[in-house]
Structure 1
Amino acid sequence: MTTRRFTRILASAAALATIIGVSACGGSDGNKGALGDADKAELVFWGWDAGNTMKELIADFQKDNPGITVKFNSTGTASNTQTALSNAIAAGKGAPDVVMLEDPTVTQFAVTEDLVDLSSFGAADEASKFVAGPWNKLQYDGKPYAMPIDSGPEMLFYNKAVFDKAGVDGESIKTWDDYYEAAKKVRATGSYMTNNSGSAMEYQPFTAQAWQAGAHPWKVDGEKITIDMTKDAGMKRYIDFQQKLIDEDLINTQVSNWSDEWNRSLNDGSIASLTIGAWMPVNLMNGAPDQTGNWRVAQLPQWKEGEEVFSDDGGSALAITAQSHNQAAAYKFIEYMTLGKGAVTMSQTGTFPCLKSILDDPDFTNPESEANKKVNAFFGGQNVSAVLAEAAKRPVGEFQYLPYNAFAQTQFGDDISPAYNKKIKLEDAFRAYGKSLAEHGTQQGYDVTNEG
């Protein structure tokens, strides 16, 4: 079976959806080799604009590159972007030149040959400039298919006021055993250490925490996929720990991430901590304003004391679609956004960077900068950027995402949530999840082995 068969299967499914924004696209006719003029082009760029900085970024790029114009089409969310791109692929035309994607979805479009291998532009030579976590997620078959915009090292955020009430020192939580003991003390005060309902919104934290536990729930080798949800040593470690938290009522299993109730619980202190990506500070500031001065951030607990094993949670990247006729100019724009002045601008407006040069720059961690002053005030005067930058530069192990990541996230909620509702054990839920993933992969044309 050739890789192109996957494209046809994916396209057939996507064609059932309403095509979003196809009329305003840059490429057509599945063009695979038109590099175009690197200095003259009209680019179409799809993505979201959480920091409201795209207008400024594009204006600065066009000023430095007067022969290139960039039309930004805001898709609103990462999910909308992925859907729109799938629809353009199904139509065989209408894809943009440059597309913003969440890191875990890049492989999905790389394996179907609908993204450009950026090593042809020298992108592979830039690996050492980025921290390992986000860079590694964008590789397929040993080649980069996107360039990272930001980073999301998994961190421990905690409410010091709640911890103090419980007699817990957040800085002393070095291991997951420490975390467990702290969770019991926090629960005795009436609050929960954290939340997890097993919904699709908890999929990304699951992958990050399983990653840190050394898990390999799936392995992708070209067209061959091996799924091991319950026998893999790292998965067993993750499942056993989560089951203990569920059984002892140490986490709120009724609240999903990003729900209104989640923000209310963070704001009133009934949820006392989160293990989540380094991009979380601004979200906490917006979602829990009544807790100004109370929150802190610390490094992620370790499975063995003294280790420094980390993982990445989330992240976004820029890719060139295979339909683009302006690939050379598109890569110049991507270079500006990920390696050039654009990356600096984004780091100054709330995007957590993945470029080592920015993380190492004293200005980034300067507590007297206006951006840092605002964040540090919410975190009780802590130098937040310094703690986050330290985490971003720590080593991470290898972790893959499935080439049908969107399905994996949606199905996660369907199969895993019953365990958090205490209807079944978590091991059984993950066994069912593995079966769902294997069946879907087989339907998509992959050679899937499900080991349990």
Structure 2
Amino acid sequence: MKKRSKWLVGLLATGSLLAFAACGEKESEAGADVGSDTNETAKDETTELSVSVWGYDANPEFKAMFGAFEDQHPNVKIKVVDIAADQYENKVTTMLAGGDTTDVLGMKDVGSYVNYANKNQLVDLTEAIEGLSEDDFANYKGNLDGYKTEKDQYFAMPFRKEIYMMFYNKGIFDEAGVDYPGDLTWDEYEKLAADLTSGEADSKVYGTYYHTWYPLVQALAANQTGNDLMSGKYDFLADYYDRVLRLQNEGHAMDYATIKTTSTTYSSVFETGKTATMIMGSFYLGKLINSINTNNLDLDWGVTTIPQNEKGEIKTYGGPTGFAVSNHSKNKDLATEFVKFCSGEEGAKAVSAIGMTTAYQSDAVLDVLASVEGMPQDEQFKKALKPDHNGWELLARPEAAAINTILGEEHDLIMVQDNTVEKGIKEITKRIETEVE
């Protein structure tokens, strides 16, 4: 196993370098695509606002927000700076260091966000947040805190706040004669995964699926046990790793190494009926509905709360996704207005209308989400949308980027079983103690 794992890590590293070498920035004029055909103005009366995003075509929330903003600001045209998702942070880092004047920057990763803020590369938005009305501030449900720095400053505002929940394929449950899931404990979930696994080779259906992101194990463990991933102590990870490795080794979940080496996507596994259940973020809601409609998929699905250690409170996690204003922007006031719009109620309505959970969560916004055609309407889904605790992956602290790297690297080694769980946890603890200032 050791030999195989070292080959895997080498292959992944080579692939990352090739992806970086092949990556290029693609700029596209968004006006006709994302805006309205009404209220057209002469070109010399239009202000162009450039916004960097990742995977524009694959992430419909960007088009929805940009179109809504242009509809309300007919003299503004959004210029989309579209960057490959897997190279986004590297590209934005290079852009900011080189004085690029892109006005608004999508914040994909909290660690990178903190680095940009600490280098004085982002406009301080604290005053804009402090100027919110009491009602507006309350409607964020604490979701602004994902970008609060150690000095209680904000350099970005979120437009999305994820909620991790459990998706399930009703058809697989029906065929197995098993009741649909709800309010599961982890023990019940593990048994369910075993009961729903069937078939062999290409026809195999897994009881559950874990994608390769480390927070699916680590952030869940932290938030459900009252810990955090920046504490320097990680013994609380053991039970969660033992479970997912047990599911993998017993054949009830797809092998991690296979997922990595074949670049398997979580959407392809769920949408082709290869798994009965899958823990995934709420960003998948709208994407799943869109895929079903676009590809005419015969897929009956549902959503329930994420499994817990014991019955009672629902504890989960989810990271923020937002926008910041570059300090190199030539249109800082307009850029700030854009960020506030996307993060606020109007932007939230546009994002909710395509089936995604937002950082701003007024009753009106939640009503828009519930009204999306194809969205589940049962009580379990409604409960999943309102967990008792929806914590963070990493806090906006200077050490976040370094910790993120260590957690990801050691997660790989544990999951391909190059390290035991015990050794992996010791490595995480040791590396964070010695490598993180």
Normalized against structure 1, the TM-score is what? Answer: 0.71
Q: Does 1:162 align with 2:169?
A: no
Residue of structure 1 in register with 2:69 after alignment = 61
Measured against aligned partners, the alpha-carbon deviations of 1:33-54 in whole angstroms (never above 9, x if no partner) come to xxxxxxx965322113344565
Amino acid across the alignment from 1:280: Y
How much has 1:361 moved relative to structure 2?
A: 4.7
Secondary structure of 1:169's match? coil
Residue of structure 2 in register with 1:175 after alignment = 185
Secondary structure of 1:351's match? coil
Counterparts of 1:213-292 in structure 2 under 5 Å?
Answer: 213-214=224-225, 216-219=227-230, 226-229=231-234, 231=235, 233=236, 235-254=237-256, 255-256=258-259, 259-260=263-264, 262-285=266-289, 292=298
Counterparts of 1:77-156 in structure 2 under 5 Å?
Answer: 77-91=84-98, 93-105=99-111, 106-123=113-130, 125=132, 126-132=136-142, 134-141=143-150, 142-156=152-166
Residue of structure 1 in register with 2:4 after alignment = none
Secondary structure of 2:167's match? strand
Query: Structure 2 regions of 5+ residues with no counterpart?
Result: 1-19, 29-45
- Change over 3 Å in CA distance of 1:413–1:236 after alignment to 2: closer
Residue of structure 1 in register with 2:33 after alignment = none
Q: Which whole-Å CA distance do the structure 1 matches of 2:393 and 2:63 have between them?
A: 34
Q: Which whole-Å CA distance do the structure 2 matches of 1:363 and 1:64 have between them?
A: 19
Measured against aligned partners, the alpha-carbon deviations of 1:113-134 in whole angstroms (never above 9, x if no partner) come to 32233112235745422133x4
Amino acid across the alignment from 1:422: Q
Q: Which whole-Å CA distance do the structure 2 matches of 1:162 and 1:144 have between them?
A: 45
Amino acid across the alignment from 2:103: D
How much has 1:439 moved relative to structure 2?
A: 5.2
Q: Which whole-Å CA distance do the structure 1 matches of 2:101 and 2:398 have between them?
A: 19
Q: Which whole-Å CA distance do the structure 2 matches of 1:63 and 1:269 have between them?
A: 40
Amino acid across the alignment from 1:116: V
Counterparts of 1:19-30 in structure 2 under 5 Å?
Answer: none
Counterparts of 1:295-444 in structure 2 under 5 Å?
Answer: 295-312=301-318, 314-357=319-362, 361-366=366-371, 372-373=372-373, 375-376=374-375, 382-383=376-377, 387=381, 391-392=385-386, 394-397=388-391, 400-401=394-395, 403=398, 412=407, 414-438=409-433, 440-441=435-436
Measured against aligned partners, the alpha-carbon deviations of 1:295-323 in whole angstroms (never above 9, x if no partner) come to 211111222211222221x4420111233
How much has 1:240 moved relative to structure 2?
A: 3.8
| RMSD over equivalenced CA pairs, Å | 3.8
Measured against aligned partners, the alpha-carbon deviations of 1:231-262 in whole angstroms (never above 9, x if no partner) come to 3x3x2442343344345443222443894475
How much has 1:162 moved relative to structure 2?
A: 2.1
Q: Which whole-Å CA distance do the structure 2 matches of 1:302 and 1:263 have between them?
A: 24
Residue of structure 1 in register with 2:82 after alignment = 75
Q: Which whole-Å CA distance do the structure 2 matches of 1:212 and 1:322 have between them?
A: 34
Amino acid across the alignment from 2:317: S
Residue of structure 2 in register with 1:28 after alignment = none
Amino acid across the alignment from 1:416: H
Query: Structure 1 regions of 5+ residues with no counterpart?
Result: 1-15, 25-39, 220-225, 367-371, 377-381, 442-446, 448-452
Measured against aligned partners, the alpha-carbon deviations of 1:22-41 in whole angstroms (never above 9, x if no partner) come to 999xxxxxxxxxxxxxxx96
* Contact 1:195/1:252 (<8 A) preserved: yes
* Contact 1:154/1:208 (<8 A) preserved: no
How much has 1:355 moved relative to structure 2?
A: 1.8
Secondary structure of 2:274's match? coil
- Change over 3 Å in CA distance of 1:215–1:70 after alignment to 2: farther
Counterparts of 1:39-54 in structure 2 under 5 Å?
Answer: 42-48=48-54, 49=56, 50-52=58-60
- Change over 3 Å in CA distance of 1:264–1:328 after alignment to 2: closer
Q: Which whole-Å CA distance do the structure 1 matches of 2:64 and 2:224 have between them?
A: 40
Q: Tell me how many residue pairs correspond in the alignment.
A: 385
Q: Which whole-Å CA distance do the structure 2 matches of 1:251 and 1:56 have between them?
A: 35
How much has 1:434 moved relative to structure 2?
A: 4.2
How much has 1:359 moved relative to structure 2?
A: 5.9
**Bigger shift: 72-81 or 338-347?**
72-81
Secondary structure of 1:296's match? strand
- Change over 3 Å in CA distance of 1:119–1:170 after alignment to 2: same
Q: Which whole-Å CA distance do the structure 1 matches of 2:159 and 2:265 have between them?
A: 30
Q: Which whole-Å CA distance do the structure 2 matches of 1:315 and 1:250 have between them?
A: 31
**Bigger shift: 399-408 or 153-162?**
399-408
Amino acid across the alignment from 2:173: F
**Bigger shift: 341-350 or 409-418?**
409-418
Identical counterparts, % of pairs: 20
Secondary structure of 2:106's match? strand
